[in-house]
Structure 1
Amino acid sequence: MKRRLLFYILFLFTAAACQREKPVQSEASRPVEAAPALADSLPDSPATGAVNSRSWHHLGRRTSRSAPLVVYRRGVLHGPDTAALPPSEARLHDLTLKASEYFKIDPTQPAEVHGREGTVVRIPAGSLVDNSNRTATNPVWVEMKECYSVADMLLSNLTTLTPDGELLESGGIVLVRASANGQQLRLAPGQAFQLEMPGPASRRKELKLFYGQGGRGQQPLRWVAAGPAADLPPPAAVASSTDQMPTYGNGPADINKLVRYPQTAVENKTEGIVYASFMVDEQGRVEAPSIVRGIGGGCDEEVLRVLRQTSGHWTPARSGGQAVKVKMMLPIRFSFHEGLANADETAVASADTAGPSPVALATDDEAAEVQEQSDRRVYTCRKLGWLNADKPIVLGQAVDFTVPVDVEPSTSIRLVVEGSAAIAEARPQADGYAFQGIPGGRKVLLIGTQYRNGTPYLALRRTVAGQASSEALVFQETTLEELERALEKIQ
């Protein structure tokens, strides 16, 4: 009996030892959230039946975890997934499409998204809704695609034409979309987001906002003017003059005590002046804080954090004995010295003033001067999607002409007006590809692309619009890498 009992215990122990060990679920083994479908890329199920898989990478950390305004400065790049695409199913532009950058935001909080090429998108809290007009509350993916060069526009199958065929000159094209749980979102009625684009300040008044019209199956897009309301952010009801400006505590020194030199700025020895614009309302609250001119390294976010920390603790401005809302500017100088490297959190050494005050508040005139000098263009956008900063190109005498090329489904002919980002598309007809409304006498570059049997072909020819020429475009076999390098040489 004892032998049987001993044998039974030994058998149970051996069986337990031979069972497969339960895997430990790590961060890497957890399911990856699926990417939202891209409306301007290949279908998820090509004709072959193969499924086009798309997956996400891990997101980078946001810039400042303590700021109430969440700033996302670096997202995840995600371009077309061509590994599973048979060459016969793909169009050339699907393979060369500029990669998008993705940011995961909390739609219940105001979010500020920074693209890699300088685009800034500011999305108000509660402004995104689904197709049933339900306000988004779960995490939202914001997609941004930045096309500021002619090469990026061409590779992404973009032109600068209106629905009527008017040729525009672009200062930059940006795609901004939002999705949650695989569903595309839109702005709620009456809502808008702010788009800030890099570019010369001298061209700010020339370039107007245009919305992309059309979509998949109607590419390239056509551009429709957004109207004058998009040129500048909505004006706030602020006092033009006051008897007494807002104050915080006992003066600027109390603001300076709240500022800490960011560790990243210390490590990189970043220094300079951060200009922040904001408004103080009738209750002493800080509204619409934004960086007019920053220096990076976390210093911009630190100034925004301090402004939001002081909200509700300002003594408001007064005019005629009444509290009024006033626009202000705060310039803070970050001055690096070697002693900062040994301190975890060190107060800002000085501000942009001489004298005993370490921080000074600029007047509204000074704020306007700094804003005018800033190389940024700001638009109020009431639609998500493709956005374009454009101006009509000076035509002179418009001309029409045809490029004698055999018409094939895989052939695309574009024209770039030299010295500008004006891109026209040729329409196929019986005797070739026809351009209409091109500035006569201007130097132009004709660009032809083909994609046959999985191989790209490229043709380039410089000419003058309107000059009679029977010289045909000559297509030469190339690679995707060589095609991209050739187009990058245009500007």
Structure 2
Amino acid sequence: MAQLKSVLCSVALLLTISSCQRDKPVITETLEPELAQAEDFLDTIPAATPLDTTSGSWHRLARRTNPNAPLLSRRSLRGAIKLSPGVPPPEAELHDITLKASEYFRIDPTQASEVHGREGTIVRIPAGSLVTEKQAPARGPVWVELKECYSMADILLSNLSTVSDNNDLLETGGIVLVQASAQGQPLRVAEGQTIQIDMPAPRRQPGMRLSRGQGDRRKLLRWVALTPDSEPAEDKFYTEPEKMPAYGKGPADINKLIRYPKQAIANQTQGLVFAAFVVDEAGRVVSPKIVRGIGDGCDEELLRVLRQTSGSWKPGLQAGKAVKVKMVLPVRFAFHAGLASSPDSTATTEATSDSTRELATEEMPPSEPSFKAEPTDRYLFSSAQLGWLNCDRVWHATGSPATDLLATTDPDPVTSVYLMFREAKTLVTGQPEEGGYAFRNVPANKRAVLIGIRYQNDIPFVALRETTTGRHATEALAFRETTLEELERMLEKIR
């Protein structure tokens, strides 16, 4: 009986103690989606292998750590950035948002490489021509950045202008940015080496040169003409290499592409057409032109076929290396009334059953002028430097005296004003001064457009005003709210 009382007392004591403890709350809160996803992700990670605490490779403390040692070294910490009271944080710059996007290409620096931009720029980088700042050869994969600004809208929205370091107004044929890096470190062109910049020229202008940007694009970039080594490159061409260029399996493959022009059929035009061109190291047809033709569309047809085959030729070889080769291709347009054509001659609607074509084997007549392989639709430069590069020439506004113009508006850090000329691809940035933005010593009597851009509270504003320089000393600008898409469309329509 005494034992039973003892057991009952013990049970009662345990119940009393447990009743005094707090109940643990049950968590019913739903995990945030991101946290739930993170936990699901963690569940997929295999459990870590237990550490081998007996491994001799682990650091062992020789003595106890000082318990009063700081967790962080205060000498390595910077003080908090303090903004002056009343000074708002800086506004985002519009030109950082509208800056033309870049393309990036991965190349092997030990091999000759070509980079092709979307808008037609070609950058040729010889093997071993890129080095670090310490002139060490680039190793591993190299990333090449290419940015192309050919339209005036792209140039303006990238905060570029066309003024030289000595304040000459320049006419641009296009501006590109070429940069290279390896393992996060910038590269440069090795001493004594050059890269080739090949730029499209829809309307080729004489006297173009290559200039490099100097300064900061965000503030004001000026153009400095590069040394004579960066003038248009004089390439070596072969006329009789060890192995001549070839297309397909031979002349018959070119013959299949030629269509007898309708006008030539109607007039029964026939004869030899001679086309001169260059096949470069990549098998492209460069600068094709007719040196002797017969008209009625036959000349244009041969040029069309040559352009169509560009890039598909097997390049000429000299000492086992691909080289540029000058070529003259004679093609005979032969009209045969009543003679059925071959099946491939009826592949297009322009061919008829009573006309055939065949390639001629005649040599180029000695009386024809020698062919100078100078591209008519490209600018070709050699450059020993990377960075912002401008294909330009000094704009000589013949017979126009210099004048000043002030675009009146309240100058502020978030506003930029430009003067875009109609006659030439020339863009000038206005300098802020009291009362507006000034343009000094610009040619008078030239049609131009004043363009003001403002970016305030993440909202773009624009002002456009047609003007003729020299007629008025001042022109007032009226800004209105716009969008980035509308701004770009408006600038594209100006030219």
| TM-score interval, normalised by the smaller of the two chains | 0.5 to 0.7
**How many Å separate the matches in 2 of 1:297 and 1:327?**
16
Alpha-carbon offset, residue 220 of structure 1: 2.8
**How many Å separate the matches in 2 of 1:114 and 1:274?**
27
Alpha-carbon offset, residue 208 of structure 1: 1.6
Measured at CA, do residues 88 and 477 of structure 1 come closer, stay the same or move farther in structure 2, by a change above 3 Å?
Answer: farther
1:371 is aligned to 374
User: Secondary structure at the residue paired with 2:207?
Assistant: coil
Measured at CA, do residues 400 and 433 of structure 1 come closer, stay the same or move farther in structure 2, by a change above 3 Å?
Answer: same
Alpha-carbon offset, residue 277 of structure 1: 3.7
1:114, 1:120 within 8 Å by CA — same for their partners in 2?
A: yes
What pairs up with 1:55-66 in 2 under 5 angstroms? none
1:179 maps onto 2:181 in alignment: yes
2:285, 2:309 within 8 Å by CA — same for their partners in 1?
A: no
**How many Å separate the matches in 1 of 2:407 and 2:176?**
30
1:194 is aligned to 196
Alpha-carbon offset, residue 274 of structure 1: 11
Which one of the candidate residues 93, 115, 129 is aligned to 1:127? 129
What pairs up with 1:20-419 in 2 under 5 angstroms? 89-200=91-202, 202-203=204-205, 205-215=206-216, 219-234=219-234, 236=236, 245-248=240-243, 257=249, 277=278, 291-293=285-287, 300-303=310-313, 306-307=314-315, 310=317, 312=319, 328-329=326-327, 354-355=359-360, 368-369=371-372, 371-372=374-375, 374-395=376-397, 396-419=400-423
Moved over 6 A (4+): 258-261, 273-276, 294-298, 330-333, 360-363
Write out per-residue CA displacement over residues 369-392 of structure 1, whole angstroms, 9 at most, x where no aligned residue: 5535x3111111111111111122
Write out per-residue CA displacement over residues 178-218 of structure 1, whole angstroms, 9 at most, x where no aligned residue: 11122111100111111111114641x2222111111355x
User: Secondary structure at the residue paired with 2:147?
Assistant: strand
1:275, 1:291 within 8 Å by CA — same for their partners in 2?
A: no
**How many Å separate the matches in 1 of 2:358 and 2:114?**
29
User: Secondary structure at the residue paired with 1:221?
Assistant: strand
Alpha-carbon offset, residue 420 of structure 1: 1.9
User: Secondary structure at the residue paired with 1:436?
Assistant: strand
2:302 is aligned to none
Answer with 136-145 or 468-477: which moved more.
468-477
Measured at CA, do residues 157 and 331 of structure 1 come closer, stay the same or move farther in structure 2, by a change above 3 Å?
Answer: farther
Q: Please tell me the residue identity of whatever aligns with 2:114.
A: E
Q: Which has the larger radius of gyration?
A: 2
RMSD: 4.2
Measured at CA, do residues 201 and 229 of structure 1 come closer, stay the same or move farther in structure 2, by a change above 3 Å?
Answer: farther
**How many Å separate the matches in 2 of 1:21 and 1:454?**
42
Which one of the candidate residues 428, 435, 440 is aligned to 2:432? 428
1:96, 1:155 within 8 Å by CA — same for their partners in 2?
A: yes
1:107, 1:136 within 8 Å by CA — same for their partners in 2?
A: yes
Number of matched pairs: 357
**How many Å separate the matches in 1 of 2:371 and 2:223?**
31
1:209, 1:390 within 8 Å by CA — same for their partners in 2?
A: yes
2:132, 2:138 within 8 Å by CA — same for their partners in 1?
A: yes
**How many Å separate the matches in 2 of 1:386 and 1:361?**
44
Measured at CA, do residues 432 and 190 of structure 1 come closer, stay the same or move farther in structure 2, by a change above 3 Å?
Answer: same
1:34 is aligned to none
Measured at CA, do residues 255 and 421 of structure 1 come closer, stay the same or move farther in structure 2, by a change above 3 Å?
Answer: closer
**How many Å separate the matches in 1 of 2:329 and 2:103?**
31
Measured at CA, do residues 471 and 387 of structure 1 come closer, stay the same or move farther in structure 2, by a change above 3 Å?
Answer: closer
1:276, 1:289 within 8 Å by CA — same for their partners in 2?
A: no
**How many Å separate the matches in 1 of 2:252 and 2:102?**
34
Write out per-residue CA displacement over residues 413-435 of structure 1, whole angstroms, 9 at most, x where no aligned residue: 11011132111111111232111
**How many Å separate the matches in 2 of 1:381 and 1:173?**
14
Structure 2 alignment gaps of length 5 or more: 1-41, 47-79, 82-87, 258-273, 289-304, 332-341, 345-356
1:440 maps onto 2:448 in alignment: no
Measured at CA, do residues 216 and 166 of structure 1 come closer, stay the same or move farther in structure 2, by a change above 3 Å?
Answer: closer
Q: TM-score, normalised by structure 2?
A: 0.62
2:242, 2:319 within 8 Å by CA — same for their partners in 1?
A: no
**How many Å separate the matches in 2 of 1:313 and 1:256?**
20
Among all aligned residue pairs of Structure 1 and Structure 2, give the percentage whose two residues are the same amino acid: 42
Alpha-carbon offset, residue 301 of structure 1: 4.1
**How many Å separate the matches in 1 of 2:252 and 2:483?**
51
1:197, 1:378 within 8 Å by CA — same for their partners in 2?
A: yes
